[in-house]
Amino acid sequence: MATDFCQKPGVNNQVCCRPSRIFHSVSPLMTQPTIADTCFELDGFSLLSVTGEDAARFLQGQLTCDVRTLNPTRASIAAFCNAKGRVISVLTLIERDGEFVLILPRSLLTKVYDKLRMYVLRSKVTLTPDPEHLQLVGLQITAADAHQPPLPTADFGVLQAGIIWVKLPGGQRYFGLLEQGKAAADDLSGTMAEWRYLDISAGLPWFDEAQSEQHIPQTLNLDALGGISFEKGCYTGQEIIARTHYLGKAKRCLGLAECNADMTTHADLAILSASDAVRVGDIVAMQTHQQTCRLLVAFHSADDMAKCLILNDAANSPVRIIPFQ
């Protein structure tokens, strides 16, 4: 039962820095907020079900990951891109009994559904947004091996045991995909804001409409996360993504930044070099927790991450670069 996972007491104080293709100097961290073992109501995400005889072939031609590598023990992060190789949405892809389930930000569901539907043509594929038979929860625990059967410990590893658990980067965190009605609402005490803070800390580049079609997958670190296959063949945007990879021209990179939570926000909030006020980074996602704000930043160059940085808010708030958690 889902409640077995949701009712374990304890606090996860581990800080796990995942490997990245970008290495940089690190400023001292603020006190790392901890969120106790809990289940989260993930109302900021939506599900998109893809079924039919041609479902795997269809998704193979649209997503950056190799759909053929999915199996009952492995999911994948991926991107759905436009023809110019710009990411429309990041998503997590799971296969269950011949059905493919895409987990993506709720704000981008309609856009992704409409664009995917344009490519269906004569394929034997059915797209179902927010399928009524499924629901999604989030889980953070202290020890994966404390549960039977043990939860997976490798990123995007899967355990299918009634509930489908998918291991996410950043500590012991999991997506839980289950049939509607299997988890009571009062078991879900964690908030979407807390979950988003953990996602940002782990370097998971979920974003909303404002950042859609702005970045290539490499800028969002999807290659380091295993979300791009360079051997699978053609898919939408593949030519530009592959050219960037093989010519080594991915100059922009993803970094994690931290500042005080009392900074002021506005629509064009960005990271500047403190010495000359030149814009050096675009904010992909941000979330506050307690007295801290964390920001996923698409830096224009890896060299910019070593500079003294500020926000372009009213106070020019100082920004520190920290490792992914």
* Sheet strands (E) in 97-212: 99-105, 126-129, 134-140, 158-161, 163-168, 173-179
Q: For 75-91, give the DSSP string.
A: -EEEEEE-TTS-EEEEE
In the structure, what pLDDT confidence band is assigned to residue 186 with cuts at 50, 70 and 90? low
pTM (predicted TM-score): 0.87
Q: For 220-244, give the DSSP string.
A: GTTTTTT---SSS---TTHHHHHHH
- The C-alpha atoms of residue 37 and residue 15 are separated, in whole angstroms, by 15
Indicate if the pLDDT at residue 168 is higher than 90: yes
- The C-alpha atoms of residue 113 and residue 192 are separated, in whole angstroms, by 23
Q: Looking at residue 147, what is its pLDDT?
A: 76
* CATH 3.30.1360.120, the chain: domain bounds: 37-202
> Is 93 or 38 the better-scoring residue by pLDDT?
93
Among 112-116, 183-187, 216-220, 312-316, which stretch is predicted with the lowest mean pLDDT? 183-187
For 145-156, write each residue's pLDDT tens digit. 777 788 999 999
**Spacing of C-alpha 121 from chain mean position:** 29
Q: Looking at residue 189, what is its pLDDT?
A: 87
- The C-alpha atoms of residue 268 and residue 257 are separated, in whole angstroms, by 17
Confirm if 285 and 210 have CB atoms less than 8 A apart.
Answer: no
Q: Is 37-202 a CATH 3.30.1360.120 domain?
A: yes
In 3D space, the residue among 140, 115, 142 whose CA is nearest the CA of residue 236 turns out to be: 115
| N- to C-terminal Cα separation, the chain | 29
DSSP secondary structure letter of residue 145 = G
In 3D space, the residue among 281, 324, 325 whose CA is nearest the CA of residue 300 turns out to be: 281
In 3D space, the residue among 302, 289, 307 whose CA is nearest the CA of residue 30 turns out to be: 289
Q: What is the mean pLDDT of residues 109-114?
A: 99
Q: For 196-209, give the DSSP string.
A: HHHHHHHT-----G
Confirm if 74 and 94 have CB atoms less than 8 A apart.
Answer: no
What percentage of the chain reaches a pLDDT higher than 90? 75
Question: Which residue's structure tokens are 């500020």?
Answer: 310
Which ranges in 192-288 belong to alpha helices (H)? 192-202, 238-247
Count helices and strands in the chain by DSSP H and E runs: 5, 16
Tokens at 89, concatenated: 């949405």
Indicate if the pLDDT at residue 303 is higher than 90: yes
* CATH 2.40.30.160, the chain: domain bounds: 209-322
219 Rama class: left (phi>0) / alpha (psi -120 to 50) / beta: alpha
DSSP H or E run through 57: helix 55-60
Confirm if 260 and 292 have CB atoms less than 8 A apart.
Answer: yes
* Single-letter code of the amino acid located at 97: D
In DSSP terms, 134 is beta-bridged to: 179
Indicate if the pLDDT at residue 173 is higher than 90: yes
In the structure, what pLDDT confidence band is assigned to residue 183 with cuts at 50, 70 and 90? low
What percentage of the chain reaches a pLDDT higher than 70? 87
Residues recorded for the chain: 325
**CATH fold label, 209-322:** Elongation Factor Tu (Ef-tu); domain 3 (2.40.30)
For 239-287, write each residue's pLDDT tens digit. 999 999 988 877 899 999 999 988 888 889 999 999 999 999 999 999 9
For 4-58, write each residue's pLDDT tens digit. 333 332 323 232 233 333 323 333 344 444 555 789 999 999 999 999 999 999 9
- Sheet containing strand 38-41, edge to edge, reads 38-41, 134-140, 173-179, 163-168, 158-161
Indicate if the pLDDT at residue 86 is higher than 80: yes
- The C-alpha atoms of residue 286 and residue 206 are separated, in whole angstroms, by 10
